[in-house]
Homo-oligomer: A and B are copies of this chain.
């Protein structure tokens, strides 16, 4: 154990680096770093076991900076640990540096991007669950701010961590009492926070966050606490160590002016360095048993067992496919928010209870824990009703920024769910997920495509989303049909097609019905199953538009951001007309068939749309 004076000097150097790098950048949050210096010094140079030359080593203790705006002190700690030269810190926030304003996994020591507050503990839950999965004794530390403790997601994580008895998880709340724009609700009163953490089943310890002895003792107590996680509540001063900003409001997110304020601050800080205390302090390497390495590939999957014409809901096919995938790849885990019997993820739970994580009705921590799991090598499949994924959009956004292999499934898409009404109908999920950067978006229409695409989702790096439907639909693809991320299927094609109808999911069947109805009157249309909405098969769509345009898109989704927009984006530069059938008003309860028709996406509505195009083109009302 390093001496307290030597740790104190490290804390002071971290302060110096934080002040200097933010002043050099001309922006950033030095005061937020200064309050946390003793905590970070104690964690990185006394408590945590890790290899500073190999931040991704599987048995390293993990650290999540939930208060991501304290990034400069995180970077300073890794420089102090020797990962990169200290002078690199002065590249903070520059366009050619990965030392960004808030941490992202562009840096090898960052598991999940932070900076949207209240997410780090959810990720920490996932990382701690993953330690169990791989049989590692590593511990997981999360540094939170007191301000962000107002986020409900923090309490979702608190509940999930205590439910799973995650004693390898240790949170530290830097209670500096000041938010961005004002004092926090409780300021420096640790009482309400202590009471809350205890009420949520945690071991809570209150300390003076600038007293290294107290911080170290609390970390030690956390390490010796069995069966429940620990939260250390550390009373601190924002701006600690620099007299003219210490504990003062109005200094959030403000660097010290390089010309005058910075030199004054640095002089004060340098005066705090203790003479003779600078014995070299190196992080301790992990010393637990080596965890089980994950496989890097998976066993081939057997072909789907469906026969053409079988009636199966894609949500049900999802559950069956997830089970198969889980058998072939032990990296695959599943998470649920108490709808496993509707999404059919319960099939996975029954087979792999140890790889199934129940968050109860708490979608943010479900996705957040999935982020943590994915960051450490698992391939998590969190699922719920698609509409309730909106609850976790900020997490999905950050999963995208983190480029994590979080494979999300949303069931009960669209008005085709029927009687439950608009609150249960996802009609914006495609808009939401298409706008997650580099997110694969898949929307299968039958059992075979669901199963094949699920495996492809698992194998494609980065976040992915599969939209499934509630009603049973007929299997239309044979078991050997091949699919591709970024592909589509031209299901009907003729030499004299008058239009191309592009659907996905339930609307594929409406398009096929419309095709047959029109064909009976001598009119043929091209029909495309656009099962991959992102990436999208622009080439096939443009060809269809040229050969058999205009294009009519049909989707069980609002017109904004979904299939219609994906198609328009693909063919837009080519001037191919795109007409859209979509749900254009707030829907209501009713039977699925009634709703598809009433809200404009039934076969009859497609036929009408084709009729109108023909009439417009010929100038009259007759077909063919």
Measured CB to CB, the residues of A under 8 A from B are 25-28, 68, 93-95, 97-98, 100-102, 104, 106, 113-118, 147-148, 150-156, 159, 163, 179-182, 184-185, 192, 195-196, 198-201, 336, 338-342, 346, 358-365, 387-388, 390-391, 393-394, 396-398, 400-401, 403, 418-424, 427-428, 431-432, 434-438, 534, 550, 558-562, 564-566, 568-569, 572-580, 585-586, 588-591, 594-595, 598
Instruction: Determine if B575 and A565 form an interchain contact, defined as CB atoms under 8 angstroms apart.
Output: no
Instruction: Determine if B156 and A361 form an interchain contact, defined as CB atoms under 8 angstroms apart.
Output: no
CB nearest to A561 among chain B residues: B561
Instruction: Determine if B421 and A360 form an interchain contact, defined as CB atoms under 8 angstroms apart.
Output: no
A208 to chain B, nearest CB (A): 23
Residues of B within 8 A of A436 (CB): 428
A125 to chain B, nearest CB (A): 13
Beyond contacts A390-B397, A575-B576: 10 other A-B pairs, Cβ-Cβ < 8 A, are A93-B590, A95-B588, A116-B388, A151-B152, A155-B155, A181-B338, A192-B199, A199-B199, A434-B561, A561-B565
Answer whether A573 and B577 are a contact pair too, CB < 8 Å, given A151-B152, A199-B196, A362-B151: yes
A346 to chain B, nearest CB (A): 7
Q: Ordered nearest first, which 3 A-B pairs have the shortest CB separation?
A: A152-B152, A115-B423, A95-B590
Instruction: Determine if B572 and A569 form an interchain contact, defined as CB atoms under 8 angstroms apart.
Output: no
Q: Report Cα–Cα, A424/B28, bound state, in Å.
A: 12
Residues of B within 8 A of A195 (CB): 198-199
Instruction: Determine if B361 and A401 form an interchain contact, defined as CB atoms under 8 angstroms apart.
Output: no
Instruction: Determine if A423 and B401 form an interchain contact, defined as CB atoms under 8 angstroms apart.
Output: yes
Answer whether A95 and B591 are a contact pair too, CB < 8 Å, given A159-B150, A180-B338: yes
Instruction: Determine if B147 and A338 form an interchain contact, defined as CB atoms under 8 angstroms apart.
Output: yes
Instruction: Determine if A589 and B93 form an interchain contact, defined as CB atoms under 8 angstroms apart.
Output: yes
Q: Pick the contact of A152 from B102, B153, B198, B561 — CB < 8 Å?
A: B153
Instruction: Determine if A101 and B424 form an interchain contact, defined as CB atoms under 8 angstroms apart.
Output: yes
Q: Pick the contact of A423 from B114, B336, B403 — CB < 8 Å?
A: B114
Q: Report Cα–Cα, A80/B560, bound state, in Å.
A: 42
Answer whether A102 and B153 are a contact pair too, CB < 8 Å, given A181-B341, A403-B586, A558-B435: no
Q: Report Cα–Cα, A586/B585, bound state, in Å.
A: 33
Q: Pick the contact of A361 from B117, B435, B561 — CB < 8 Å?
A: B117
Q: Pick the contact of A199 from B106, B198, B365, B421 — CB < 8 Å?
A: B198
A615 to chain B, nearest CB (A): 14
A370 to chain B, nearest CB (A): 16
Residues of B within 8 A of A115 (CB): 420-421, 423-424
Q: Report Cα–Cα, A420/B72, bound state, in Å.
A: 12
A546 to chain B, nearest CB (A): 12
Answer whether A184 and B95 are a contact pair too, CB < 8 Å, given A565-B568, A572-B568: no
